């Protein structure tokens, strides 16, 4: 896999496309690592376990993602669906870390 894949508009083969997707997926996972780091910070900061799930904040995060997606001409519904899963995974991760911190 090349370190500097071609931008989408320069791809000429499926190998080019796949190299770009693979490189981008690696970056996305690294970025998600940072996002989950914020979930660990939230688990450390929140004094009560019941504060981990915040439905109003969840709705705001998903709405923000949808709005930004639509502003850059991406499908809002698809992005909202992805973010629903991301936020639920983040909540589960935060709950796990909240519990682990209090069991020490």
Q: What is the CATH number of domain 8-103?
A: 1.20.59.10
Residue 71: strand, helix, or coil: helix
> Mean pLDDT throughout 51-68?
98
Q: What is the per-residue pLDDT for 85?
A: 98
Task: Output the pTM of the full model.
Answer: 0.90
Predicted confidence band at 2 (pLDDT cuts at 50, 70, 90)? low
Residue 104 pLDDT: 72
pLDDT, tens digit, 9 for 90 and up, residues 38-55: 999 999 999 999 999 999
Closest residue by Cα to residue 53 from 84, 86, 94, 99: 94
Per-residue pLDDT tens digits for 16-44: 999 999 999 999 999 999 999 999 999 99
The domain segmentation of the chain, as residue ranges, is 8-103
CA within 13 Å, CB half, 11: 14
Instruction: Quote the DSSP letter at residue 52.
Output: S
């Amino acid at each position: 896999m090349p370190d500097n894949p071609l931008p989408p508009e320069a791809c000429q083969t499926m190998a080019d496309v796949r190299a770009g997707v693979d490189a981008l997926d690696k970056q996305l996972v690294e970025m998600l690592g940072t996002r989950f780091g914020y979930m660990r910070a939230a688990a450390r900061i929140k004094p009560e376990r019941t504060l981990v799930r915040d439905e109003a904040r969840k709705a705001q995060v998903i709405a923000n993602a949808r709005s930004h997606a639509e502003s850059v001409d991406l499908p809002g519904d698809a992005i909202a669906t992805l973010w629903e899963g991301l936020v639920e995974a983040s909540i589960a991760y935060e709950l796990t870390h909240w519990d682990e911190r209090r069991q020490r």
